[in-house]
């Protein structure tokens, strides 16, 4: 890390741009994949990505490389300046940002960083053995990784941080209809109980009774945390970022202060939450901060990087993405408030409904109405008279996510950390009325 800072200092001194920003993301990544109860892919990777954003007046140039040396970074700065010189001015751009030192993140655990390939394989074997007792085949993935981020700019910003991640997900199945999904996530590998993950998967795959087909229509559903996270991720991409607010493509546009969800729903971007332990600053070096997005159903705010913060006359919330992104900021660490019921109590209070473990291949039908389609997967069950009575053949949904979050009858006390596509979410299970299924999957 100090080597990178030293290289950045030299290159910043040499830069002829009005403003210069250098970013390095370094990754040591291991992932074990398994299927048919054996390991079929098992990888390690050491990489670093380096960006330079050069500013001349209101012209911006971004260049990227993964070649880490003083010479290469000097060349990267030159390339970014060259791009600048050929650019057209962006009148909306004001400046890079000068940020105070971010509080050191606590999301780094040596236990995760040093976890060996053999330990990963042994953990997988534990799960395979447990599943095998129920004649279930195991598939899944188990990742341990370390990410370091360094940001330095010519306005004096200097940030560096390091976090680890351990995540495992499994699907247990056999040649019949039985299947069950389970996952776990922690910064510290020591917090993951592989037997618990295996047992949760077995429990889902081993529900008694034959699978039943339900007619398409409207049902009460209970979404387990992984299914809630599927929806929340899409809501975050679509509506909780400053770009959508600026160009009115967000469902939050013109809705701040209005009720958009049920009163029992509170959502925040909360990267400093001790359960989340996200990297404490963003790719511009701005310290990440807590942002209340929806409070008791009322739209409160969205997240920003410096560019869209300026355009919306607010402060950056520390949600800048990589310098070469064109997507704009979105939440990376969302926390939903818990409810007051256990999952069992939520099931017991349901006369007839469907318990959904998670969704597959959600995609927008109408982004402005937040309508998505997708299917249920690997753990869908019929609830009758407060009890789970049978597995259900997977079904296709067509549902406005906002409407679903506006029909929330109950949330669970227990929450789970769910990582999806680089976004970490800490969410409860949710009981939702009037959920729309359009066909069998």
Q: Which of residues 109-138 bind another protein (CB under 8 A)?
A: 116-118, 120-122, 124-125, 128, 137
Q: Which of 177, 196, 254, 384 binds another protein (CB under 8 A)?
A: 254
Q: Which of 31, 113, 314, 390 binds another protein (CB under 8 A)?
A: 31
Stretch that binds another protein, among 139-147, 275-283, 309-317, 342-350 (CB under 8 A): 139-147
Shortest distance (Å) from residue 36 CB to another protein: 5
Report the C-alpha gap between 177 and 46 in whole angstroms: 40
352-366 and 217-223 strand pairing: parallel
Q: Which of 368, 384, 414, 434 binds another protein (CB under 8 A)?
A: 368
- Dihedral angle sign, alpha carbons of residues 271, 274, 275, 277: positive
Give helix 70-86 / helix 2-14 axis angle, nearest 10°.
40
Report the C-alpha gap between 399 and 228 in whole angstroms: 13
Each residue 234-253 as x (binds another protein by CB under 8 A) or -, in order, gives -------------xxx---x
Between residue 69 and residue 98, which ones bind another protein under the rule CB under 8 A?
Answer: 79, 82-83, 86-88, 90-92
Nearest CA to 269 out of 232, 298, 311 is that of 232
182 near 42, Cβ under 8 Å? no
Between residue 175 and residue 214, which ones bind another protein under the rule CB under 8 A?
Answer: 181
Among residues 51 and 219, whose Cβ is nearest to another protein?
Answer: 51
Between residue 295 and residue 354, which ones bind another protein under the rule CB under 8 A?
Answer: 324, 326
Give the 3-state DSSP-derived string for 100-116, with helices as H, strands as E and coil as C: CCCCCCCCCCHHHHCCC
> What does the DSSP assignment read for 284-309?
TSPBP--EEEEETTEE---B--HHHH
Between residue 374 and residue 403, which ones bind another protein under the rule CB under 8 A?
Answer: 374-375, 377, 394, 396, 398
Among residues 99 and 250, whose Cβ is nearest to another protein?
Answer: 250
Among residues 82 and 263, whose Cβ is nearest to another protein?
Answer: 82
Among residues 28 and 409, whose Cβ is nearest to another protein?
Answer: 28
Residue 113 Cα to chain centre, angstroms: 20
Report the C-alpha gap between 245 and 254 in whole angstroms: 8
Report the C-alpha gap between 133 and 138 in whole angstroms: 11
305 near 269, Cβ under 8 Å? no
Number of residues interacting with another protein: please give it, by CB under 8 A: 84
Q: Specify the DSSP element, H or E, that contains 186.
A: strand 179-186
Stretch that binds another protein, among 169-177, 285-293, 339-347, 406-414 (CB under 8 A): 169-177
Between residue 35 and residue 64, which ones bind another protein under the rule CB under 8 A?
Answer: 35-48, 61-64
Among residues 208 and 422, whose Cβ is nearest to another protein?
Answer: 422
Shortest distance (Å) from residue 342 CB to another protein: 27
103 near 287, Cβ under 8 Å? yes
Stretch that binds another protein, among 226-234, 308-316, 367-375, 426-434 (CB under 8 A): 367-375
Shortest distance (Å) from residue 375 CB to another protein: 5
Shortest distance (Å) from residue 104 CB to another protein: 26
Stretch that binds another protein, among 34-42, 205-213, 269-277, 330-338 (CB under 8 A): 34-42
Report the C-alpha gap between 71 and 78 in whole angstroms: 11
Residues 6+ positions from 423 with CB-CB distance below 8 Å? 233, 236, 330, 331, 332, 333, 334
Contact between 218 and another protein by CB under 8 A: the answer reads no
Residue 325 Cα to chain centre, angstroms: 17
Report the C-alpha gap between 393 and 352 in whole angstroms: 16
Shortest distance (Å) from residue 352 CB to another protein: 24
Q: Which of 68, 155, 314, 390 binds another protein (CB under 8 A)?
A: 68
Stretch that binds another protein, among 234-242, 294-302, 365-373, 404-412 (CB under 8 A): 365-373
Shortest distance (Å) from residue 190 CB to another protein: 19
């Amino acid at each position: 890390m100090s080597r990178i800072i030293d290289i950045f200092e030299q290159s910043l001194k040499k830069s002829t741009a009005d403003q210069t920003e250098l970013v390095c993301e370094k990754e040591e990544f291991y992932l074990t994949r398994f299927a048919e109860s054996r390991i079929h892919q098992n990888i390690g990777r050491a990489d670093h990505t380096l960006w330079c954003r050069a500013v001349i007046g209101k012209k911006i140039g971004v260049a990227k490389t993964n070649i880490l040396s003083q010479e290469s970074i000097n060349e990267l700065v030159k390339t970014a300046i060259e791009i600048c010189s050929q650019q057209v001015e962006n009148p909306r751009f004001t400046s890079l940002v000068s940020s105070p030192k971010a509080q050191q993140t606590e999301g780094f655990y040596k236990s995760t960083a040093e976890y060996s390939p053999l330990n990963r394989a042994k953990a997988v074997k534990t799960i395979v053995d447990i599943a095998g007792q129920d004649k279930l085949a195991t598939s899944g993935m188990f990742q341990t990784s370390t990410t370091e981020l360094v940001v330095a700019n010519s306005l004096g910003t200097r940030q560096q941080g390091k976090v680890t991640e351990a995540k495992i997900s499994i699907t247990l199945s056999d040649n019949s209809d039985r299947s069950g999904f389970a996952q776990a996530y922690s910064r510290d590998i020591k917090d993951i109980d592989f037997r618990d993950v295996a047992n949760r998967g077995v429990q889902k795959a081993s529900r008694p009774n034959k699978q039943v087909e339900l007619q398409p229509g409207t049902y009460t559903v209970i979404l387990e945390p992984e299914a809630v996270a599927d929806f929340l991720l899409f809501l975050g991409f679509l509506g909780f970022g400053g770009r959508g607010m600026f160009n009115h493509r967000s469902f939050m546009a013109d809705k701040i202060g209005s009720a958009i969800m049920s009163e029992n729903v509170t959502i925040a971007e909360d990267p400093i939450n001790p359960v989340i332990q996200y990297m404490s600053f963003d790719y511009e070096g701005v310290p990440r901060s807590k942002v209340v997005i929806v409070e008791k159903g009322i739209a409160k705010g969205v997240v920003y990087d410096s560019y869209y913060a300026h355009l919306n006359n607010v402060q950056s919330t520390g949600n800048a993405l990589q310098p070469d992104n064109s997507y704009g900021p979105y939440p990376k660490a969302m926390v939903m408030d818990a409810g007051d019921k256990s999952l069992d109590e939520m099931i017991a209070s349901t006369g007839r409904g469907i318990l959904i473990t998670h969704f597959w291949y959600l995609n927008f039908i109408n982004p402005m109405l937040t309508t998505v389609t997708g299917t249920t997967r690997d753990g869908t069950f019929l609830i009758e008279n407060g009890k789970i009575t049978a597995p259900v053949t997977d079904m296709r949904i067509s549902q406005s996510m906002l409407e679903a979050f506006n029909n929330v009858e109950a949330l669970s006390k227990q929450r789970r950390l769910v990582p999806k596509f680089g976004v970490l979410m800490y969410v409860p299970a949710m009981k939702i009325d009037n959920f729309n299924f359009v066909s069998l999957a």
